[in-house]
Amino acid sequence: MRTVIRSLLFLLQTIVVGLAIAFVLVYFHPGWLKLGNTSGAVDTYAAAVDASSPSVVNVHSARRTNIPGPLMDDPFWRRYFGNPYGTPRERMENSLGSGVIVSTDGYILTNYHVISGADAIQVGISDGRTAVARVVGMDPDTDLALLRVSLPHLKPIDMGRSDDLHVGDVVLAIGDPYGVGQTVTFGIVSALGRSQLGLSTFENFIQTDAAINPGNSGGALVNARGQLVGINTALYSPSGGSNGIGFAIPVNLARGVMQQLIAYGRVRRGYLGVEPQDITPQLASAFQLKSTAGFIITSVTKGGPGSEAGLLTGDVIETIDGTTVKNSSEALNRIAGKPPGTLVTLGGVRQGKPFSVQVRVAERPI
């Protein structure tokens, strides 16, 4: 009998200890508990949406445009009846986009093309409040703009780091497509560092298959933790609908632009005063280069920093401050990121021989 009791006590102690260990593990690692999900996949991103969606706003802009009078193009009516029959009529054009609250004091990031030329801008918060927004600054070269509203109790988004992204990471696009109301779409990072798309001067886009539709522009691309990793900007679509190829401006780039717009009202960028061209395999062969990395200078602006430093048309630039550059787009971005007045060292090939030169970058003309 005593043996049976001892066995039962041992069994009960084992169960209690096991339950205690399980409780501790689940308490500190709740993600290990996947009830009703035997596949091991995450079955909801509601926490990420709850954390980030209150920071995504609707941006409504209005522009005044003149419509020619119905008889303005008719020489007969202009000759005999004068201008009254050809007086232009004024019309308001409205457009919708999205934006992201980035501070408690009312700063909102959006796309330049969302508010470009606007005579009035109104922002709609997810809690139903609205406010007139003023433009702090715009940067057409990256298609970014910074707005500000005067409203209390705003919830800024948690800003992540786009350089931590990998192809295959889960991302969510949040915005107001077609003006139907705030919408969340789901996808992955399809590619990083997309450039030469003709969307803006400085391109380093995140490509995603999360649906980005008209009205999503300026909205948030967030990771699975609800942190901002990009500003949704454009979609590739011959038909005008989402085809699974969307582009977002990396948050690291957007953060730097925002800081300069707050500080200066504009973005101050480095400038060499040279025209770069990518190196094709044919050009690499003609110049007897070992690779297509770098760029060829096709023209030098007279009186510019490159001209003052002695750069010449035909010079091949392969490194900036000792680091190899892949192409002209990367070189443009790296020089633009240098504060005006910075001294940089360019290395490459001139007439078949290695050379290097120091250039003091100027501020890029607007």
Catalytic residues: 113, 143, 217
203: tokens are 């391109």
Is residue 153 within 8 Å of residue 126, measured between CB atoms? no
Helix or strand or coil: residue 234? strand
Is residue 99 within 8 Å of residue 109, measured between CB atoms? yes
Is residue 218 within 8 Å of residue 100, measured between CB atoms? yes
Cα–Cα dist 331/190, whole Å? 24
Cα–Cα dist 32/173, whole Å? 26
Cα–Cα dist 78/60, whole Å? 38
Q: How far is CA 330 from CA 192, 253, 271, 358, in A?
A: 13, 14, 14, 19
Is residue 162 within 8 Å of residue 254, measured between CB atoms? no
E strand or H helix at 317 = strand 316-320
Is residue 220 within 8 Å of residue 185, measured between CB atoms? no
> Buried b / exposed e across 211-244, counting CB within 10 Å, b at 16+?
bbbbbbbbbbbbbeebbbbbbbbbbeeeeeebee
State the virtual CA torsion across 277, 283, 289, 294 in degrees, nearest 10: 20
